[in-house]
């Protein structure tokens, strides 16, 4: 009964979405207020029915209702309660329901926090959200209904994929989806602006906080995915350029460019067509990512549903939404663009470089991800594109981005003098080149060109930002003025600052762990000791050990440094009772400056020997710390006072805008 | 020196153009199977091997058996459901065609493999046993069932990935056999 209620709720949500897409939009053309005023209640109604549907499916999971096919496929009576909840989004149908619920959440949020936006604008924004909802709800109801019943009712479910029975992974999809779906708001704002034929600084100001919040969630989601892969998959890797990882990275790159481009449009009225195009692209890449992992076009460790019929539906949807919006862009953008001139040496220029490089990176990742398909279509045979290509491409382009990141924040808007910049930044430049030289030549520690490049670039970022901070505080009374500055309308500067430092932290982490980490495969007998990177690892054999829904072999490793015992690790090899391949649980001793990581391979022989892998991972935590810093930076920027006070006033379209730091 | 932001109107169509090309590509991709990997060995001599016979432990069979007659080398295992599906077709082919059917038991247990042959019949003239994938890896075997068409000179002429049914036999394999039959 309850699953049917959920199904019905979805149908009602679809009905509301149909009305939501048409009536407010039409009202914005013929000027009928009552029609436009329906937008907000419709958005609320959507969310209500989607929440009901979600709750019904949740109930089915929590009560082990295996008469619902999706529950039988994803869950199991022995599954710990918390994972029964996260099993809801463990498979294709449920994750779609989560996606569309998020869409409802964002739509309702826009309805709630937009009191001071003009009614025609908000009607159009909500209408576009409704159009996207129609597509997803149709897809769900026609091809991927999570409420489908199963007869005869199995006494036991199949179980959630053991890889997914993990706290990190439970949270990863909701975070990611909040990000992907959040970009739909910027998308809707862009479409609404194109329809209305007006794109001004006020529009940019409204779009910014939404975009930043979506970006924060996406950053956290990607960082979580990377961290999870590291500790769960057992090989100590943190990024594989897997198609699905790329599917999340491309919207992130576009979203980052969008955030920066919006800043320029708000403050200087420039980059208008760039910003609109980026807003369309960020969401389009989110949709494209959704397509790639559900259609069977690419294989991946992640691919949800490899089903060409579903793929055709999504592709048709993509053509309508993305093709339609790009066609609208081609038609209307020429009318709304223009404005905001700037000189060659100006902050706008550096942000333009930023836009171009981020867009290029996103396109290259797209190309690399789709290359196997392109080659096959052209008859050039089957290839696969992996690590080496992506890494080379990324390392080739990103230094230019980092160089621009160092100069941009210190550069004035519209016009600046190269001499002034040189005076400000020559010290960071010299010091960074020094670090590059020292680290490359291996004078102080074993190094190579890549280490030099990585450390040199991060030094450049940190030092240039210290300079920019010093310049800023110079007029605010030095370091003491920092607190006051944070309290008023300048948080966005500190948000930028923190996020950019996060990038520097990432570069250090990635460079060090890639160049100075080690992996040792060996066979150990109980009692054996092996030394890696100055630490002694003593293996004390493996004992059988049972969990709630698995049986395991649990190894014990004691780690010593010198005479001191550092830690005792318990890596496991688990066989889940519901069947499937054995899972490896790594034993990790985490640290700020290094991780020690042990995983069990296979038992060898009959004396209790095991093939084991010992990893030394220096600075690997810096990679996820960087994600945290970037998210915090975004949070600081969003909490800037100017967005709050703007809500209480009727905004006046700010023409050129004041040049704010 | 000031920079203006005007562009020609047609440049705004570029993103749409790129996207439509992408959509066409993806539409094409839906019709493909990413798991099918063509064999780079087609047209090359079959990798030589010396493997134990499946039926007679201790007896060795070498790849010389591939010379002199057209062969179908069928990779199979008792744990593979599709192999069971095609088994009937293989028996029919062995009976009606003059091609020699070589069984290549892969990553399997001897006992289970022999049981399967006993229960469902043995279409193979000879069967080799490769439990550790020592030879399969040279042949590029990555799943079961797979079938290689090897001509009388020992050159691989075709690799069929997946089970063989009547249609596959007539449309895919028989033409290859007919094409290379006359040689040697």
- Of A621, A638, A655, the position where a domain reaches its end is A621
The nearest CA of chain A is from the CA of B14 a distance in Å of 8
Write out the two tokens for B18: 């790129």
Same domain for A128 and A191, yes or no, is no
Percentage of chain A modeled with pLDDT above 90: 54
B19/A382 CB distance under 8 A: no
Distance from CA of A420 to the nearest CA of B (A): 18
Q: Are residues A287 and A371 in the same domain?
A: yes
The answer to whether B182 contacts chain A (CB < 8 Å) is no
**ipTM exceeding the 0.95 mark:** no
Lowest mean pLDDT among A20-24, A534-538, B72-76, B161-165: B161-165
* Residues paired with residue B52 on neighbouring β-strands, in sequence order: B60, B129
Grouping H, G, I as helix, E, B as strand and the rest as coil, residue A411 is coil
Same domain, A111 and A27: yes
Query: Which of B2, B15, B26 is opposite residue A343, by nearest beta carbon?
Result: B2
Cis-peptide into B76, omega within 30 deg: no
In terms of domains, do A5 and A137 share one? yes
User: What pLDDT band is residue A14 in, cutting at 50, 70 and 90?
Assistant: very high
Nearest C-alpha in B relative to A318: B23
Q: Which residues of A touch B25 (CB under 8 A)?
A: 370, 373-374, 377
Residue A511, domain member (yes or no): no
A130 plus A178 within the same structural domain = no
User: Nearest by CB to A299, which of B22, B23, B35?
Assistant: B35
CA angle B107, B168, B145 (to 5 degrees): 5
Residue B106 to residue A457: CA distance in whole angstroms: 52
Residues spanned by the domain of A543: 518-621
CA distance A431 to chain B (A): 32
The last residue of a domain, from among A133, A159, A185: A159
Say what the pTM is: 0.82
Give me B29's structure tokens: 């991709």
Domain assignment present for residue B174? The answer is yes
Q: What is the pLDDT of residue A575?
A: 83
Whether B6 is covered by a domain: the verdict is no
A173/A280 same-domain check: yes
B158 located within any domain = yes
For residues A229 and A296, membership in a common domain is answered with yes
B128 assigned to some structural domain: yes
- Asked if the structure places residue A526 within a domain, the reply is yes
Is B143 inside a domain boundary? yes
- The pLDDT confidence band at residue A115, using thresholds 50, 70 and 90, is confident
Contact A369, A246 (CB under 8 A): yes
pLDDT at residue A646 tops 50: no
In a domain, A71, yes or no: yes
Range of the domain at B141: 50-181
- If one counts the domains in chain A, the total is 3
Residues A105 and A187 in one domain: no
pLDDT at A305 over 60: no
Find chain B residues with C-beta within 8 A of A333's C-beta.
12
User: Model confidence over A240-279: pLDDT tens digits?
Assistant: 888 888 989 999 999 999 999 999 998 888 888 889 999 9
Look at chain B and report how many structural domains it folds into. 1
Question: Of A412, A429, A449, which residue sits at a domain end?
Answer: A412
Considering the domain architecture, whether residues A116 and A263 belong to the same structural domain is answered as no
Strand order in the sheet with A518-524: A518-524, A609-618, A594-604, A587-589
Q: What is the DSSP letter of B11?
A: G
Q: Please tell me which residue of chain A has the smallest CA distance to B2.
A: A343
- Say yes or no to pLDDT of A657 above 50: no
Query: Which chain B residue shows the shortest CA-CA distance from A330?
Result: B12
Q: Looking at residue B74, which CATH number applies to its domain?
A: 3.40.30.10
Determine, yes or no, domain membership for A457.
Answer: no
Q: Does residue B124 lie within any of the structural domains?
A: yes
Contact A467, A410 (CB under 8 A): yes
The verdict on A136 and A242 lying in the same domain is no
Instruction: Confirm whether B78 is domain-assigned.
Output: yes
| A91-100 mean pLDDT | 91
Q: Are residues A138 and A212 in the same domain?
A: no
Nearest CA-CA partner of A178 in A98, A84, A102, A256: A102
Considering only residues A335 and B73, tell me which one the structure prediction assigns the higher pLDDT: B73
Q: Do A203 and A241 belong together in one domain? A: yes
Residue B5: per-residue pLDDT: 44
User: How many CB pairs below 8 A link A and B?
Assistant: 94
Q: What is the tens place of the pLDDT at every residue in A130-169?
A: 999 999 999 999 988 999 998 888 888 887 777 778 888 8
């Amino acid at each position: 009964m309850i699953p049917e209620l959920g199904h019905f709720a979805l149908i009602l949500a679809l009905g509301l979405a149909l009305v939501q897409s048409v009536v407010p939009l039409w009202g914005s053309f013929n000027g009928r207020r009552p029609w436009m005023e329906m937008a907000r209640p419709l958005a609320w109604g959507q969310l209500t029915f989607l929440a009901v549907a979600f709750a019904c499916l949740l109930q089915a999971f929590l009560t082990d209702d295996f008469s619902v096919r999706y529950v039988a496929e994803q869950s199991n009576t022995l599954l710990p309660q918390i994972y029964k909840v996260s099993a809801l989004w463990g498979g294709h149908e449920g994750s779609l329901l989560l996606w569309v619920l998020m869409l409802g959440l964002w739509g309702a949020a826009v309805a709630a926090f937009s009191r001071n936006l003009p009614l025609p604008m908000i009607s159009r924004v909500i209408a576009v959200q409704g159009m996207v909802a129609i597509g997803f709800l149709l897809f769900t109801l026609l091809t991927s209904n999570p409420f489908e019943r199963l007869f005869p009712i199995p006494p036991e479910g199949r179980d959630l994929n053991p890889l997914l029975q993990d706290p990190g992974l439970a949270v990863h999809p909701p975070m990611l989806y909040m990000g992907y779906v959040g970009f739909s708001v910027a998308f809707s704002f862009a479409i609404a602006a194109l329809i209305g034929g007006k794109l001004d600084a006020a529009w940019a100001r409204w779009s910014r906080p939404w975009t930043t919040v979506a970006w924060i969630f996406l950053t956290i989601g990607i960082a979580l995915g990377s961290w999870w892969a590291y500790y769960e998959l057992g090989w100590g890797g943190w990024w594989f350029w897997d198609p699905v990882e790329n599917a999340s990275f491309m919207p992130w790159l576009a979203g980052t460019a969008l955030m920066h481009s919006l800043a320029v449009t708000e403050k200087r009225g420039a980059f208008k067509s760039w910003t609109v195009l980026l807003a369309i692209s960020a969401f389009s890449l989110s949709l494209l990512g959704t397509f790639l992992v559900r259609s069977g076009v690419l294989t991946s460790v992640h691919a949800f549903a490899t089903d060409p019929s579903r793929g055709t539906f999504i592709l048709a949807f993509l053509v309508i939404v993305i093709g339609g919006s790009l066609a609208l862009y081609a038609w209307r953008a020429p009318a709304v663009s223009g404005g905001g001139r700037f000189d060659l040496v100006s902050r706008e220029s550096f942000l333009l470089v930023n836009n171009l490089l981020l867009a290029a990176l996103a396109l290259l990742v797209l190309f690399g991800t789709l290359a196997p398909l392109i080659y096959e279509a052209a008859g050039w045979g089957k290839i696969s594109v992996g690590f080496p290509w992506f890494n080379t491409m990324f390392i080739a382009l990103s230094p230019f981005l980092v160089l621009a990141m160092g100069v941009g924040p210190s550069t004035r808007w519209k016009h600046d003098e190269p001499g002034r910049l040189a005076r400000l930044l020559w010290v960071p430049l010299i010091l960074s080149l020094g670090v590059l030289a020292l680290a490359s030549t291996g004078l102080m520690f074993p190094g190579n060109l890549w280490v030099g490049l990585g450390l040199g670039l991060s030094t450049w970022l940190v030092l240039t930002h210290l300079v920019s901070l010093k310049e800023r505080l110079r007029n605010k009374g030095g370091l003491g003025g920092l607190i006051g500055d944070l309290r008023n309308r300048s948080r966005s500067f500190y948000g930028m600052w923190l996020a950019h430092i996060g990038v520097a932290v990432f570069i250090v982490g990635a460079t060090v762990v890639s160049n100075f980490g080690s992996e040792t495969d060996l066979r150990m007998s109980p009692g054996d000791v092996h030394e890696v990177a100055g630490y002694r690892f003593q293996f004390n054999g493996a004992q059988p050990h049972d969990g709630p829904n698995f049986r395991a072999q649990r190894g014990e490793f004691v780690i010593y440094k010198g005479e001191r015992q550092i830690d005792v690790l318990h890596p496991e090899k688990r066989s889940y009772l519901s069947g499937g391949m054995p899972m490896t649980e790594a034993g990790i001793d985490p640290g700020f400056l290094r991780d020690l990581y042990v995983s069990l391979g296979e038992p060898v022989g009959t004396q209790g020997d095991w093939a084991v892998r010992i990893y030394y991972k220096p600075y690997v935590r810096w990679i996820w710390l960087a994600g945290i810093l970037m998210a915090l930076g975004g949070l600081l920027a969003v909490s800037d006072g100017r967005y709050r006070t703007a809500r209480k006033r009727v905004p006046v379209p700010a023409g050129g805008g004041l040049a704010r730091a | 020196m000031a920079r203006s932001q005007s562009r020609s109107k047609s440049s705004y169509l570029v993103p749409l153009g790129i996207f439509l090309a992408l959509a066409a590509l993806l539409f094409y991709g839906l019709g493909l199977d990413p798991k099918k990997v063509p064999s780079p060995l087609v047209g090359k001599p079959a990798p030589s091997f010396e493997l134990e016979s499946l039926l007679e432990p201790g007896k060795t069979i070498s790849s010389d058996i591939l010379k002199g007659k057209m062969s179908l080398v069928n990779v199979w295992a008792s744990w593979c459901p599709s192999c069971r599906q095609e088994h009937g077709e293989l028996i029919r082919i062995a009976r009606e065609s003059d091609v020699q059917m070589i069984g290549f038991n892969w990553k399997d247990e001897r006992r289970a493999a022999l049981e399967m042959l006993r229960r469902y019949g043995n279409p193979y003239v000879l069967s080799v046993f490769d439990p550790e994938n020592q030879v399969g890896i040279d042949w590029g075997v990555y799943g079961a069932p797979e079938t290689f068409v090897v001509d009388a000179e020992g050159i691989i002429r075709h690799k069929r990935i997946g089970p063989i049914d009547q249609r596959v036999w007539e449309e895919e394999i028989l033409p290859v056999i007919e094409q290379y039959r006359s040689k040697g």
